[in-house]
Structure 1
Amino acid sequence: MAGDNAVRRLDLGYFIRPAEEAGGPHPRVEAVLAYLVDSADGLILFDTGLGRGDDETEAHYRPHRRPLPQALADHGVRLDDIALVVNCHLHFDHCGGNPLLPGRPVFTQRTELATARAGDYTFDHLVDFPGVDYRELDGAAEISPGVRIVPTPGHTAGHQSLVVRGPDGVTTVLAGQAYDLATDFSCAQLARRAAADGAADPLPPYHPWLDRLTTLDPQRVLFAHDPAVWQA
């Protein structure tokens, strides 16, 4: 039903993270996922896929792109149907489709946009383009009934996630790259639980924002680079 905050996932391709970045002896193929939220204020698009970088970046990550218009069409949606855009952060693999959506409000943390514009962070043509309309935030904000942006710094200082209260009362977190993998998020949640239970040190660290996120009672968490879903 339109406007019920239902969430749909978009497959926007993948890239190959080199072994030295993947933390093991082998490279790792990572999905590039975006999400549609059917809100009361129209369709919200969380992340927009892989943009084109320079030749060095292309060779380093060997991306395979699935065009945003094609991924939207799988759900019967056109670019013109998108009302709002939220980027978890402004690296090229999360904001690559933004230039296809001029005139749409793009929600980002003020810190993230300032970092992106300072250079040596992302690609300028994906950040500032004709018709771009940034809505800069300093923290959490409800952008539509039941749809709330929550800062989740770590991967970048201005990283943010989207918390969606769905039609069945279930809260879904679109976590972007707050954690690379669902298992990483699960391990952090267990570390938080152990700390709350008074387990003795040493314990693994976890992001302090997990305390706040837990108060929102998330039942499932979805990620930008992992098709696995964390379930409460």
Structure 2
Amino acid sequence: MGVRRIIALTLGWEDLPKSASVHGASRAERVREPVPGLLLETDDGWLLLDTGFNTALLRDPALRRRFYPSPNYQPELPGPGEPLEEALAAVGVDLADVTAVALSHLHVDHAGGLKHFAGRVPVHIQKTELAYGLSNHPEPEHHSMARIDYDDPRIDWRQADGDVEIAPGVTALLTAGHTPGHQSFVVDLDPAVGGGGYVFACDAADLTENITEERPIGAFIGVTADQTVPPIRRLKEIAARRGYPVIPGHDPVAWPTLTTELATRFRL
């Protein structure tokens, strides 16, 4: 049994230097990258992968200055309301329909929507990621983790220590490098909907060229740039064995293309 529907969500955008995604790229070259989310219909209910921004940190001027201090990085929200609520409503799903959440990692563009789920549903994460994010040290915030997003005693953390199946047809893969406990996801589609599947790299590979050319990613913690390539190769090997594509996490061409492909396949 596998996933019956996949819905790609765009929860905002980020205007930033390409060097943030590809090591060695020119800082003068800029890209406008989508902020992704994925909604998966499983036998356990709707599973949400990543949650976008915390709107309060963007809309309050003082909080924005603190958590987004660099003029080189400009986050954008897609509308006037809460991005998750608006994106889910557009595909006929209510926040209350989400039965579990999984985070690729704790960066502000992935963990900011956890406020909608604290005290409500389990949240899957790698043990090493949560330990790093909650360490009593300023370093996580310097690496774009806002503790206010995820330091909530009501969150029902489900901590993994390596690869683990988190729902029928959904496997989290430890792909550390971008952050200490970053995880990517393999999604197997149910034969009843045609089978097949996808490997979602998340921020283990932001752009298509990180995958096709095996170029190191631009942002990493605790490793060298070259050490971010083996996780990419591992994802490619898994995808090749299964016959699945590898989907980059923030590609401005690949993500809207996938969004349309999935909408067509699942008649959204």
TM-score normalized by the length of structure 1: 0.83
| Partner-residue secondary structure (3-state), 2:32 | strand
Cα distance change, pair 214–101 in 1 and its aligned pair in 2 (3 A): same
| Partner-residue secondary structure (3-state), 2:115 | helix
Distance 1:185 1:209 in 2: 6
The 5 Å alignment of 1:32-71 reads 32-51=35-54, 52=57, 54-60=64-70, 61-66=73-78, 67-71=83-87
Equivalence for 2:184: 161
Aligned-residue offset at 1:28 = 2.1
The 5 Å alignment of 1:82-231 reads 82-102=98-118, 103-118=120-135, 119=137, 120-121=139-140, 122-129=145-152, 131-167=154-190, 168-188=194-214, 206-208=229-231, 210-211=233-234, 214-215=237-238, 216-227=241-252, 228=254
Distance 1:187 1:145 in 2: 32
Amino acid at match of 2:177: G
Aligned-residue offset at 1:5 = 3.4
Aligned-residue offset at 1:204 = 11
- Tell me which moved more, 166-175 or 81-90: 166-175
Distance 1:213 1:128 in 2: 34
Provide the identity percentage.
34
After superposition, the C-alpha distances for 1:138-157 in whole angstroms (9 at most, x for unaligned) are 01111222211111112112
After superposition, the C-alpha distances for 1:164-187 in whole angstroms (9 at most, x for unaligned) are 111322121122111110221112
The answer as to whether partners of 1:154 and 1:207 remain within 8 angstroms in 2 is no
Distance 2:228 2:75 in 1: 32
| Partner-residue secondary structure (3-state), 1:148 | strand
Aligned-residue offset at 1:33 = 0.9
Aligned-residue offset at 1:130 = 5.2
Distance 2:4 2:162 in 1: 22
Aligned-residue offset at 1:4 = 3.8
| Partner-residue secondary structure (3-state), 1:143 | strand
Amino acid at match of 2:127: R
Distance 1:59 1:218 in 2: 42
Aligned-residue offset at 1:124 = 1.3
Distance 1:14 1:20 in 2: 16
Amino acid at match of 1:79: L
Among 25, 30, 45, the residue aligned to 1:27 = 30
Aligned-residue offset at 1:211 = 3.4
Kindly indicate whether structure 1 or structure 2 has the higher relative contact order, using CA contacts under 8 Å at least 6 residues apart. 2
The answer as to whether partners of 1:92 and 1:123 remain within 8 angstroms in 2 is yes
In angstroms, what is the RMSD of aligned CA positions? 2.7
| Partner-residue secondary structure (3-state), 2:152 | coil
Equivalence for 1:13: 12
- Tell me which moved more, 28-37 or 17-26: 17-26
Amino acid at match of 1:86: A
Aligned-residue offset at 1:58 = 3.0
Amino acid at match of 1:221: V
Distance 2:92 2:214 in 1: 37
Aligned-residue offset at 1:212 = 6.5
How many residue pairs match? The answer is: 216
Unpaired runs of 5+ residues, structure 1, are: 190-202
After superposition, the C-alpha distances for 1:52-101 in whole angstroms (9 at most, x for unaligned) are 26414435222111311001111111110111111110011111101111
| Partner-residue secondary structure (3-state), 1:95 | helix
